[in-house]
Amino acid sequence: GENVGLHLPTLSVQEGDNSIINCAYSNSASDYFIWYKQESGKGPQFIIDIRSNMDKRQGQRVTVLLNKTVKHLSLQIAATQPGDSAVYFCAEYAGGTSYGKLTFGQGTILTVHP
Amino acid sequence: NAGVMQNPRHLVRRRGQEARLRCSPMKGHSHVYWYRQLPEEGLKFMVYLQKENIIDESGMPKERFSAEFPKEGPSILRIQQVVRGDSAAYFCASSPQGFNTEAFFGQGTRLTVV
Protein backbone atom coordinates (compact mmCIF):
# COMPACT_ATOMS: atom_id res chain seq x y z
CA GLY A 1 0.00 0.00 0.00
CA GLU A 2 0.95 3.62 -0.17
CA ASN A 3 3.05 4.82 2.73
CA VAL A 4 5.24 7.54 4.04
CA GLY A 5 8.83 6.65 4.86
CA LEU A 6 12.06 8.25 5.96
CA HIS A 7 15.49 7.89 4.41
CA LEU A 8 17.58 8.11 7.60
CA PRO A 9 16.49 6.52 10.84
CA THR A 10 19.13 8.39 12.92
CA LEU A 11 20.85 11.74 12.68
CA SER A 12 23.54 13.06 14.99
CA VAL A 13 24.62 16.70 14.87
CA GLN A 14 26.62 19.14 16.92
CA GLU A 15 24.91 21.97 18.73
CA GLY A 16 24.68 24.98 16.47
CA ASP A 17 24.73 23.00 13.24
CA ASN A 18 21.82 22.91 10.86
CA SER A 19 19.84 19.65 10.64
CA ILE A 20 17.98 18.25 7.68
CA ILE A 21 15.50 15.43 8.10
CA ASN A 22 14.09 13.82 4.97
CA CYS A 23 10.85 12.07 4.18
CA ALA A 24 9.65 10.28 1.05
CA TYR A 25 6.01 9.71 0.32
CA SER A 26 4.45 7.58 -2.35
CA ASN A 27 0.84 8.76 -2.49
CA SER A 28 0.56 11.38 -5.20
CA ALA A 29 -2.91 12.28 -3.89
CA SER A 30 -1.46 13.59 -0.63
CA ASP A 31 -2.03 17.31 -0.38
CA TYR A 32 -1.23 18.25 3.20
CA PHE A 33 1.83 17.39 5.25
CA ILE A 34 2.78 17.88 8.88
CA TRP A 35 6.04 17.47 10.77
CA TYR A 36 5.82 16.32 14.37
CA LYS A 37 8.43 16.14 17.12
CA GLN A 38 8.08 13.45 19.74
CA GLU A 39 10.15 13.45 22.91
CA SER A 40 10.49 10.35 25.02
CA GLY A 41 7.30 9.54 26.90
CA LYS A 42 5.34 12.35 25.30
CA GLY A 43 2.84 12.80 22.52
CA PRO A 44 3.73 14.14 19.06
CA GLN A 45 4.13 17.90 19.04
CA PHE A 46 3.08 19.84 15.95
CA ILE A 47 6.05 21.66 14.40
CA ILE A 48 5.04 22.93 10.98
CA ASP A 49 2.77 22.05 8.10
CA ILE A 50 2.67 22.61 4.37
CA ARG A 51 0.04 22.23 1.69
CA SER A 52 0.69 20.84 -1.74
CA ASN A 53 0.24 24.20 -3.44
CA MET A 54 3.40 25.41 -1.69
CA ASP A 55 7.08 24.50 -2.09
CA LYS A 56 8.42 26.02 1.08
CA ARG A 57 7.20 27.23 4.41
CA GLN A 58 9.18 28.77 7.23
CA GLY A 59 8.62 28.86 10.94
CA GLN A 60 10.78 29.77 13.87
CA ARG A 61 14.14 28.06 13.17
CA VAL A 62 12.38 25.48 11.01
CA THR A 63 11.73 25.29 7.29
CA VAL A 64 9.77 22.64 5.43
CA LEU A 65 10.43 22.00 1.76
CA LEU A 66 8.10 20.05 -0.49
CA ASN A 67 9.15 18.63 -3.85
CA LYS A 68 6.06 17.15 -5.44
CA THR A 69 7.94 16.02 -8.53
CA VAL A 70 9.96 13.47 -6.59
CA LYS A 71 7.49 13.18 -3.69
CA HIS A 72 9.98 14.35 -1.12
CA LEU A 73 9.58 16.36 2.04
CA SER A 74 12.30 17.76 4.26
CA LEU A 75 12.52 19.53 7.59
CA GLN A 76 15.39 21.90 8.17
CA ILE A 77 16.24 23.00 11.68
CA ALA A 78 18.58 25.96 11.96
CA ALA A 79 21.12 26.27 14.79
CA THR A 80 20.12 22.95 16.30
CA GLN A 81 19.97 22.87 20.09
CA PRO A 82 20.13 19.97 22.56
CA GLY A 83 16.43 20.53 23.23
CA ASP A 84 15.75 19.59 19.63
CA SER A 85 16.79 16.00 20.35
CA ALA A 86 13.74 13.85 19.69
CA VAL A 87 12.12 11.61 17.12
CA TYR A 88 10.74 13.49 14.12
CA PHE A 89 7.84 12.17 12.07
CA CYS A 90 6.41 13.36 8.83
CA ALA A 91 2.72 12.72 8.32
CA GLU A 92 0.39 13.17 5.39
CA TYR A 93 -3.26 13.57 4.63
CA ALA A 94 -4.04 11.65 1.49
CA GLY A 95 -7.50 13.00 0.86
CA GLY A 96 -10.24 11.02 -0.83
CA THR A 97 -11.20 7.98 1.22
CA SER A 98 -8.43 8.86 3.66
CA TYR A 99 -10.52 11.78 4.84
CA GLY A 100 -9.38 12.78 8.30
CA LYS A 101 -6.62 10.16 8.53
CA LEU A 102 -2.97 11.07 8.99
CA THR A 103 -0.44 8.51 7.79
CA PHE A 104 2.85 8.65 9.68
CA GLY A 105 6.32 7.78 8.51
CA GLN A 106 8.75 5.60 10.43
CA GLY A 107 10.51 8.44 12.25
CA THR A 108 14.05 9.84 12.45
CA ILE A 109 15.92 10.03 15.73
CA LEU A 110 17.74 13.35 16.01
CA THR A 111 20.51 13.55 18.59
CA VAL A 112 22.15 16.91 19.25
CA HIS A 113 25.53 16.83 20.97
CA PRO A 114 26.52 19.86 23.05
CA ASN B 1 -6.53 26.86 26.47
CA ALA B 2 -5.79 23.39 27.71
CA GLY B 3 -4.43 20.92 25.23
CA VAL B 4 -5.76 17.47 24.44
CA MET B 5 -6.19 15.65 27.74
CA GLN B 6 -5.85 11.90 28.01
CA ASN B 7 -6.30 9.72 31.05
CA PRO B 8 -5.06 7.66 32.54
CA ARG B 9 -1.42 8.23 31.54
CA HIS B 10 -0.53 4.68 32.49
CA LEU B 11 -2.85 1.70 32.65
CA VAL B 12 -2.03 -1.86 33.65
CA ARG B 13 -4.50 -4.61 32.88
CA ARG B 14 -4.40 -8.38 33.22
CA ARG B 15 -5.14 -10.49 30.19
CA GLY B 16 -8.89 -10.76 29.68
CA GLN B 17 -9.77 -7.50 31.43
CA GLU B 18 -11.21 -4.41 29.78
CA ALA B 19 -9.28 -1.20 29.17
CA ARG B 20 -11.02 2.17 28.85
CA LEU B 21 -9.00 5.10 27.58
CA ARG B 22 -10.37 8.63 27.73
CA CYS B 23 -9.67 11.67 25.59
CA SER B 24 -10.95 15.22 26.01
CA PRO B 25 -10.24 17.28 22.88
CA MET B 26 -9.06 20.85 22.86
CA LYS B 27 -11.74 23.45 23.44
CA GLY B 28 -13.60 24.14 20.24
CA HIS B 29 -12.44 20.93 18.56
CA SER B 30 -15.11 18.50 17.49
CA HIS B 31 -12.94 16.03 15.57
CA VAL B 32 -11.08 13.29 17.43
CA TYR B 33 -8.60 10.69 16.20
CA TRP B 34 -7.09 7.70 17.96
CA TYR B 35 -3.67 6.30 17.08
CA ARG B 36 -1.61 3.41 18.42
CA GLN B 37 2.16 3.41 18.71
CA LEU B 38 4.28 0.35 19.32
CA PRO B 39 7.81 0.84 20.71
CA GLU B 40 10.16 2.46 18.19
CA GLU B 41 7.48 2.63 15.53
CA GLY B 42 5.39 5.36 14.00
CA LEU B 43 1.81 6.06 14.90
CA LYS B 44 -0.88 3.94 13.26
CA PHE B 45 -4.30 5.38 12.63
CA MET B 46 -7.18 3.60 14.35
CA VAL B 47 -10.35 5.65 14.20
CA TYR B 48 -11.70 9.12 13.41
CA LEU B 49 -14.80 10.42 15.18
CA GLN B 50 -16.94 13.49 15.30
CA LYS B 51 -19.52 14.08 17.98
CA GLU B 52 -21.80 11.01 18.06
CA ASN B 53 -20.45 9.74 14.75
CA ILE B 54 -17.71 7.37 13.64
CA ILE B 55 -16.32 8.77 10.39
CA ASP B 56 -13.52 6.32 9.63
CA GLU B 57 -12.71 3.18 11.59
CA SER B 58 -10.58 1.53 8.95
CA GLY B 59 -7.65 1.15 11.37
CA MET B 60 -9.59 -0.50 14.15
CA PRO B 61 -9.22 -4.25 14.73
CA LYS B 62 -12.48 -5.98 13.87
CA GLU B 63 -12.94 -7.49 17.31
CA ARG B 64 -12.59 -6.30 20.90
CA PHE B 65 -11.97 -2.64 20.01
CA SER B 66 -14.60 0.08 19.97
CA ALA B 67 -14.65 3.87 20.16
CA GLU B 68 -17.22 6.52 20.87
CA PHE B 69 -17.43 10.28 21.11
CA PRO B 70 -20.71 11.15 22.82
CA LYS B 71 -22.47 14.46 22.65
CA GLU B 72 -21.32 15.19 26.17
CA GLY B 73 -18.08 14.02 27.71
CA PRO B 74 -14.79 12.65 26.45
CA SER B 75 -14.10 10.24 23.65
CA ILE B 76 -13.60 6.68 24.87
CA LEU B 77 -11.49 3.95 23.32
CA ARG B 78 -12.50 0.59 24.74
CA ILE B 79 -10.53 -2.61 24.45
CA GLN B 80 -12.29 -5.72 25.69
CA GLN B 81 -10.55 -8.93 26.77
CA VAL B 82 -7.10 -7.41 26.41
CA VAL B 83 -4.17 -9.52 25.25
CA ARG B 84 -0.45 -8.86 25.59
CA GLY B 85 -0.29 -7.67 21.99
CA ASP B 86 -2.51 -4.73 22.93
CA SER B 87 0.33 -3.28 25.01
CA ALA B 88 1.21 0.02 23.36
CA ALA B 89 0.90 3.77 23.68
CA TYR B 90 -2.48 5.07 22.56
CA PHE B 91 -2.64 8.67 21.44
CA CYS B 92 -5.62 10.87 20.87
CA ALA B 93 -5.57 13.93 18.63
CA SER B 94 -8.13 16.61 17.96
CA SER B 95 -8.69 19.24 15.30
CA PRO B 96 -11.20 22.01 14.70
CA GLN B 97 -12.03 20.63 11.29
CA GLY B 98 -11.61 17.15 9.94
CA PHE B 99 -9.75 17.50 6.74
CA ASN B 100 -6.42 19.11 6.03
CA THR B 101 -6.14 20.96 9.31
CA GLU B 102 -3.71 20.84 12.18
CA ALA B 103 -4.17 17.92 14.53
CA PHE B 104 -2.88 18.28 18.10
CA PHE B 105 -2.00 15.26 20.18
CA GLY B 106 -2.40 14.40 23.82
CA GLN B 107 0.33 12.87 25.98
CA GLY B 108 -0.99 9.38 25.43
CA THR B 109 -2.05 6.43 27.56
CA ARG B 110 0.51 3.68 27.96
CA LEU B 111 -1.29 0.39 28.25
CA THR B 112 0.55 -2.58 29.67
CA VAL B 113 -1.12 -5.98 29.62
CA VAL B 114 0.33 -8.45 32.09
Read off the pLDDT of residues B41-82 as tens digits, 9 standing for 90 and up. Answer: 789 999 999 988 999 899 999 999 999 999 999 999 999 999
Average pLDDT over chain B, rounded to whole? 92
User: Residues of B at the A interface (Cβ-Cβ below 8 Å)?
Assistant: 4, 6, 31, 33, 35, 40-45, 48, 55-56, 58-59, 91, 93, 98-100, 102-108
- The answer to whether the Cβ–Cβ distance between B107 and A105 falls below 8 Å is no
Question: Is residue A89 very low, low, confident or very high in pLDDT (cuts 50, 70, 90)?
Answer: very high
Question: Is residue A35 very low, low, confident or very high in pLDDT (cuts 50, 70, 90)?
Answer: very high
Residue, of B68 and B1, whose pLDDT is higher:
B68
Q: How far apart are CA A61 and CA A81, in angstroms?
A: 10
Coil/strand/helix, residue A82: helix
Dmax (CA) of chain B: 39
* Amino acid symbol at B12: V
Q: What is the pLDDT of residues B97-107, one digit of tens each?
A: 766 677 889 99
State the CB neighbour count (10 A cutoff) for residue B10: 11
**Of B93, B98, B104, which has the smallest distance from its Cβ to A99's Cβ?**
B98
Residues of B with CB below 8 A from A46's CB? 102-105
**Of B93, B100, B106, which has the smallest distance from its Cβ to A93's Cβ?**
B100
Is the pLDDT assigned to residue A6 strictly greater than 50? Answer: no
- The answer to whether the Cβ–Cβ distance between B105 and A89 falls below 8 Å is no
The backbone region for B77, taken as left when phi is positive above 0, alpha when psi lies in -120 to 50, beta otherwise, is beta
Dmax (CA) of chain A: 45
Q: How far apart are CA A69 and CA A76, in angstroms?
A: 19
Q: How far apart are CA B11 and CA B19, in angstroms?
A: 8
Q: Judge whether A106 and A6 are in contact, CB under 8 Å.
A: yes
pLDDT of residue A96: 58
* Amino acid symbol at A62: V
Question: Is residue B28 very low, low, confident or very high in pLDDT (cuts 50, 70, 90)?
Answer: confident
Question: Is residue A95 very low, low, confident or very high in pLDDT (cuts 50, 70, 90)?
Answer: low
- The answer to whether the Cβ–Cβ distance between A101 and B58 falls below 8 Å is yes
